[in-house]
């Protein structure tokens, strides 16, 4: 592949690029301190580089597929632990990129530091992996009942599609890219817990009067009190057809 003119500084060698290139993560390639790559290239250079990459992918689809599979395994946390700073990236200030954008000071800097250090401690122990939440999403959706619970189907499809989209187009296997799938998994677990009798909330039985549904105490009525039951086929707002 011949890179378009201006992509790298003059004199850059392939060995220098190889120091930062990794099929599983693109962060060092773009953002490492000594990388020759400029992540903020002008629009004409971006268009030229994009066209070159499309030509190479079409010419070598097998190699491209292997690269995406390697990235997907890293994204799921199967081939290796997620890289550090996956959950809560410290980020950088605009001044480090020579940007005039102003960022307001944090309102509670000490609280931010404690929370940040807590999340960093979790990351160092590799507690969170994307494949764990993916397995929880599938199992919890099945336990909740895919055929009769619409919410379970929606959460399963949304979580899988989000992860699949990142696997196709992502460049970094950090855990924060899987946050939406993790959220879907937690909601699916909540739906599955409703199958347990202690967590379930039964629906009101069909055939009770409106008064009994609104005020269950009215069931203990005095003798002679008349309660009119609604027909099981009646719908809210339907006319009875009777004349006054």
Is residue 136 a contact partner of residue 185, using CB atoms and an 8 Å limit?
A: yes
Split at pLDDT 50, 70, 90, the class of 239 is: very low
Residue 208 has pLDDT above 70, yes or no: no
Determine contact, residues 175/119, Cβ cutoff 8 Å.
no
Query: Mean pLDDT over residues 68-95, rounded?
Result: 75
pLDDT tens-digit series, residues 6-60: 677 778 888 888 888 877 777 777 777 788 877 777 788 788 888 888 998 999 9
Task: Say if residue 183's pLDDT is above 90.
Answer: yes
| Both tokens assigned to 227 | 């309660």
Q: What integer is the mean pLDDT of 92-102?
A: 72
The residue ranking higher by pLDDT, 183 or 240, is 183
Quick check: 191 pLDDT over 80?
Answer: yes
**pLDDT, tens digit (0-9, with 9 covering 90-100), for 216-232:** 555 555 455 555 555 55
153-170 pLDDT, tens digit each: 999 999 999 999 999 888
Report which of 123, 119, 196, 187 is spatially closest to residue 153, judged by C-alpha positions. 187
- DSSP codes, 23-55: TT--HHHHHSTT-S--TT--HHHHHHHHHHHHH
Q: Note the pLDDT of residue 231.
A: 53
Stated pTM of the model: 0.61
pLDDT for position 240: 45
CA angle 181, 114, 182 (to 5 degrees): 5
């Amino acid at each position: 592949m011949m890179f378009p003119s201006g992509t790298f500084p003059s004199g850059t060698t392939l060995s220098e690029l190889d120091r930062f290139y990794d099929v599983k993560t693109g962060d060092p390639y773009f953002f490492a301190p000594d990388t020759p790559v400029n992540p903020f290239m002008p629009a004409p250079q971006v268009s030229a580089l994009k066209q070159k990459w499309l030509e190479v992918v079409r010419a070598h689809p097998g190699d491209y597929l292997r690269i995406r599979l390697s990235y997907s395994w890293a994204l799921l946390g199967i081939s290796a632990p997620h890289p550090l700073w996956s959950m809560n990236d410290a980020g950088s200030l605009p001044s480090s990129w020579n940007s005039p954008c102003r960022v307001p000071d944090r309102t509670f800097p000490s609280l931010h530091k404690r929370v940040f250090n807590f999340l960093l401690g979790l990351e160092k122990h590799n507690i969170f992996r994307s494949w764990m939440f993916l397995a929880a999403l599938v199992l919890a959706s099945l336990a909740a009942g895919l055929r009769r619970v619409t919410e379970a189907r929606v959460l399963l499809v949304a979580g899988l599609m989000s992860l699949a989209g990142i696997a196709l187009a992502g460049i970094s296997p950090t855990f924060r890219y899987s946050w939406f799938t993790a959220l879907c998994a937690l909601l699916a677990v909540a739906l599955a817990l409703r199958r347990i009798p202690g967590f379930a909330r039964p629906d009101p039985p069909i055939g009770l009067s409106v008064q009994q549904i609104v005020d269950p105490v009215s069931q203990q009525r005095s003798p002679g009190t008349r309660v009119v039951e609604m027909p099981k086929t009646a719908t809210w707002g339907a006319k009875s057809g009777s004349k006054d």
